[in-house]
Structure formats: structure tokens, C-alpha cells
Homo-oligomer: A and B are copies of this chain.
Amino acid sequence: MPPTELATTLVVLDLVGIFVFAVTGALVAVRKNLDLFAALVLGGVTGLGGGFVRDVLIGATPPAALADWRYLMVPVAAGLLTFAFHPVIGRLERVVTLFDAFGLALFCVTGALKAVDYGLGPLPAALLGMVTGIGGGILRDVLAGRVPVIFEGALYATPALTGALVAVLLDRADLPLGVVAAAGFSTCLGFRLLALVRGWRAPLPKGPANV
């Protein structure tokens, strides 16, 4: 692809990821019987929050999404649609989960590579890639007054960290950006989908917790 097409593809993929994340945020608001504004805020926070946390931590402020109205409009559209059609979207839970895995795979790679661009080492960059992927969902759950779902056994952050690490290490090996991104993306997506299909869970603590 010529460079312009590649850039366009990346923006479109990014917007799709933000859209799906925002749908999960707005669904949480609806299921807690919160109002339309909460659906928009939780949608926006879920879609953009991970990137905002990354940008604030690496000093890339103001975050790019604040300079591009498309990035602000996409979660608004997702929030409005989810608020209006939540009974339908709620029944499509499996489709939402699938697309959510896609967004996770995308954000962990783009987040990690942006951190590398800002001069961070491989390990912190991979961590920030993971934060980009999972941060929005954590903020969503905290704002909705529940313990983040990814703390209760779902295998979600580990695929993100693995995909980010693959991308960062291949990037260090000076492979072309397309290869780097595709490898990190596929690793995270494949790992996440396998975990969903096989029912893999993160380990829970054993023994008495003697609170």
C-alpha cells in the first residue's frame, strides 16, 4: 500500500477499535440503569481512556485524540446507538466480545509502539501498550462502581502484554513496521480468542485468605 492508504487504514482501524470499546462502556452504563450522559461518558472513557493514560504518562499531551474531532465523535455515536438499541446490542454480546478482542489487539500494539517512539525501553513500552489496551475498561469499571472485570479471572491483560512485547521486540530487531504490527496484533488476538474459546482463566489465590 502507498503511505497515504496505510495511514488511512490505521486511522479507520483505530476508530473501529474505539467504537467497539465505547459500546462496551455504554452497555455497562445501561445495565446499571445510568442515564444517557453516563452512557456517553463511560463510552468515551472506555474508548479513549487507555490512550489518555498512556499519553499523560509519557508526556504526550494534549493527547492526539483531543486534536482530532473524529476521535471524539466516534464514542459519542457509539454511546447514542448503544443507549437507543441496547436490547439488540446486548443480545449480540458474543459479537461485541469478538470485536473487543480486535480492539485490544490493535491498541496494545499501537500503544507500545507510540511509547517506543517517545524513547521508552522495551519493558516499559510493552507495559504501556498493555495499559493502552486495558486502561479504558478499568476506568469504565471504576466509574461505574464495580471492581474491574479483568481482575476476576478473565484472561485479558496477559494477551495484551504478550502482543505488546512481541511488537516491541520485533521493532527492536528493525523489522518493517507492517510485520511488527501484524505479529503483535495476531499474537494478542489469537491468544485472547483461544482463551475465550477454551475457557482459560487467570489463576485465583489458593488457601484461606484469613481476612
By a beta-carbon cutoff of 8 Å, the part of chain A in contact with chain B is: 29-39, 41-42, 52, 56-59, 61-63, 66-67, 69, 72, 83, 86-87, 90-91, 118-121, 123-124, 127-128, 138, 142-148, 150-153, 157-158, 201-205, 207-211
Decide if B67 touches A57 in the complex (CB within 8 Å): no
Specify which chain B residues have a CB less than 8 angstroms from the CB of A148 in the assembled complex.
Answer: 38, 143
Q: Which residues of B contact A205 (CB under 8 A)?
A: 29-30, 33-36, 39, 83, 86
Least CB distance, A116 to chain B, in whole angstroms: 12
In whole Å, how far is A181's beta carbon from the nearest beta carbon of chain B? 22
The residue on B at minimum CB distance from A27 is B209
With A38-B151, A62-B59 already in contact, the answer to whether A124 and B67 are too (CB < 8 A) is yes
Q: Is the CB of B41 within 8 A of A151?
A: yes
Contact B67 A58 (CB under 8 A): no
Q: If the complex has contacts A29-B151, A59-B61, are A203 and B123 also in contact, measured as CB distance less than 8 A?
A: no
Q: State the CA gap A17–B69 with chains docked (Å).
A: 30
- Asked if residues A66 and B62 are in contact (CB atoms below 8 Å), the reply is no
* Complex: A158 Cα to B61 Cα, angstroms: 26
By beta carbon, the residue of chain B nearest A156 is B37
Question: Across the interface, do A124 and B72 meet the contact criterion of CB distance under 8 Å?
Answer: yes
| A210 B91 Cβ-Cβ under 8 A | yes
Whether B91 contacts A31 by the Cβ 8 Å rule is no
What is the chain B residue whose CB lies nearest that of A90?
B210
State the 5 A-B residue pairs at the shortest beta-carbon distance, nearest first.
A59-B61, A38-B151, A35-B202, A145-B147, A66-B124
Q: Which of B69, B120, B210 contacts A62 (CB 8 A)?
A: B120
Asked if B209 and A33 make an inter-chain contact with CB atoms under 8 angstroms apart, the answer reads: yes
- A to B CB contacts below 8 Å, 18 in the list: A29-B205, A33-B209, A35-B152, A35-B153, A35-B201, A36-B204, A37-B202, A38-B150, A56-B61, A58-B62, A62-B118, A66-B128, A69-B124, A72-B123, A90-B209, A90-B210, A142-B142, A145-B147
List, in ascending order, chain B residues with CB within 8 A of A30's CB: 205, 209
Q: How far is the CB of A97 from chain B (nearest CB, A)?
A: 15
